[in-house]
Amino acid sequence: MVDVVVLDDWQDVARSFAAWARLSDRARVHFRHDHLFDPDVLVEELHHAAVVVAMRERTAFPSSVLERLPQLRLLVTAGMGNAAIDLEAAAALGITVSGTAMRTPPTAELTWGLILAALRHIPEEHQRVRDGLWQGSVGTDLAERRLGLIGLGRLGGRVARVGLAFDMDVVAWSQNLTQERADEVGVGYVDLDELLATSDIVSLHLRLSPRTRGLLGDRELRLMKPTALLVNTSRGPLVDEDALVAALAEGRLRGAALDVFDEEPLPPGHRLRTAPRVLHTPHLGYVTEASYERIYGDVVEDIEAWLDGAPIRVLAPAPD
């Protein structure tokens, strides 16, 4: 009988999205509904676990943590990439790191939810109605505005098609983007500086890697229009946090709509919680019923395969 610990099940729903009973004769499954911020506490709570389940990058597993978990043999993460796990250290320690499938549509859908909420002031107007008031803002149109997408993969492509349906002028850039891919989606292909300087909305859809970390710093944010909205539903560290806070404080951006942050959960009192003109959501991009069914269903399959000695979805290091 092995111990399995499912981390960061904040909503207390993981047990309802997969057939965990299939493991009952070989594993004891424990669900954690809190977040273990302190690495020492994390190690203490996981010292007995042979299998740990990590939800995305909510909990980090650097070498300094992995080295202190001698019982750990399988680390399962949601998705087939996790920048918070030291894959080289895991391999050296004999820890298998596996992943799951992920659904693309939910994050693209949330991206548009954030754009519409920010530009039409939906949270503020909702609160005004609750407070017995009426209209207090003037919204911004999408039609004929420019949407700049940094990244045009599966997710960025979905966001692009919605922008085109709104009659927006859509352009894109990434280090790997080709004219052929831009033509396939039906968007313009421009360099990064032009995208930043001309777009009314800039939305990020890149993997986090050494090459993309801090991609938007002070120089890049200063290129953006003061009327532009920055949207990030990918990874917080793609944008230099200090530079973003400064741009917002100085009024150099219309605002930011953020679903991701450098540190998650965002600590109480964090400066982004109170920064002006920021619409926040707590990394909800993938948090849907269908996503959880796929993620936790694959988690159970990965654990079963590992117990059976069968082939398993093993993570490879993310490309630069």
pLDDT grade for 57, boundaries at 50, 70 and 90: confident
Q: Please, which residues bridge with residue 54 across strands?
A: 77
pLDDT at 319: 55
% of the chain surpassing 70 pLDDT: 99
At residue 291, the 3 state secondary structure works out as helix
**pLDDT tens-digit series, residues 132-157:** 999 999 999 999 999 999 999 999 99
- How would residue 320 be classed by pLDDT, with cut points 50, 70 and 90? low
- Res 272 pLDDT > 90: yes
Mean pLDDT of the chain: 96
Give 228-240 pLDDT, tens digit per residue.
999 999 999 999 9
**pLDDT score, position 99:** 96
What is the mean predicted confidence (pLDDT) over 53-64? 94
Mean pLDDT across the stretch 96-102? 96
pLDDT for the residue 265? 87
Helices (H), 120-254: 122-130, 154-165, 179-185, 192-198, 218-223, 241-249
Q: Which long-range CB contacts under 8 A does 301-310 form with residues at least 24 apart? A: 302/74, 302/76, 302/98, 302/99, 302/100, 303/4, 303/23, 303/27, 303/51, 303/74, 303/76, 304/22, 304/23, 306/51, 306/73, 306/74, 306/96, 306/98, 307/2, 307/23, 307/26, 307/27
Residue 60 binned pLDDT confidence (cut-offs 50, 70, 90): very high
DSSP state of 123: H
* C-alpha to C-alpha distance for 147 and 282, rounded to whole angstroms: 24
**pLDDT at residue 206, rounded to an integer:** 97
pLDDT at 316 over 80: no
pLDDT at 40: 97
Domains along the chain with CATH numbers: 2-103+287-308 (3.40.50.720), 105-280 (3.40.50.720)
pLDDT at 37 over 80: yes
Contact 5, 52 (CB under 8 A): yes
Average pLDDT over residues 202-208: 96
Q: What is the pLDDT of residue 157?
A: 98
pTM of the model as a whole: 0.93
Sequence-distant (6+) residues with CB within 8 A of 21 are none
Q: Return the residue matching tokens 């017995």.
A: 132
At 230 the pLDDT is 98
pLDDT higher for 316 or 127? 127
Which residues are identified as catalytic?
235, 264, 283
- The angle, 0 to 180 degrees and rounded to 10, between the axes of the packed helices 154-165 and 105-119 is 40
β-strands 51-54, 188-189: how paired? unpaired
Residue 174's closest CA among 146, 151, 190? 151
